[in-house]
Amino acid sequence: DTAVSQTPKYLVTQMGNDKSIKCEQNLGHDTMYWYKQDSKKFLKIMFSYNNKELIINETVPNRFSPKSPDKAHLNLHINSLELGDSAVYFCASSQGGSWEQYFGPGTRLTVT
């Protein structure tokens, strides 16, 4: 009965590879987000999707491509991974006008 789930929880890969992180929410929310938490624990929004439409794109390199097949899913694909992409990536969701966001458990990405 997990509200916001992410897979995988851990991801270790080499520079130059392409990888994807998946996010699913069963809360019936219509808005989903991706946040990046760096090694100093600083959290910054990357993307926001509302009803499968990209709403927020915070000057993220175009190597990062979010995809929302439906309202319950928001995946993050990263091409040509770089060392600086190592971080914890959090997915979150909210319902329309609600200001309350629910976060997933995070995916720790390590690029070697």
Partner 1 sequence: AQSVTQLGSHVSVSEGALVLLRCNYSSSVPPYLFWYVQYPNQGLQLLLKYTSAATLVKGINGFEAEFKKSETSFHLTKPSAHMSDAAEYFCAVSGPSRGGNKLTFGTGTQLKVEL
**Residue 48 is a binding residue for partner 1 (CB under 8 A):** yes
- Binding part of the chain for partner 1, among 16-24, 61-69, 71-79, 94-102 by CB under 8 A, reads 94-102
Say whether 85 sits in a helix, a strand or coil: helix
* Shortest Å distance, C-beta 64 to partner 1: 17
Tally of CB atoms within 10 A around 67: 14
Instruction: Tell me how crowded residue 55 is: count the other CB atoms within 10 A of its CB.
Output: 12
Pairing label, strands 10-13, 107-111: parallel
Which residue ranges make up the site for partner 1 (CB under 8 A)? 4, 31, 33, 35, 40-45, 48-50, 53, 55-56, 90, 92, 94, 98-106
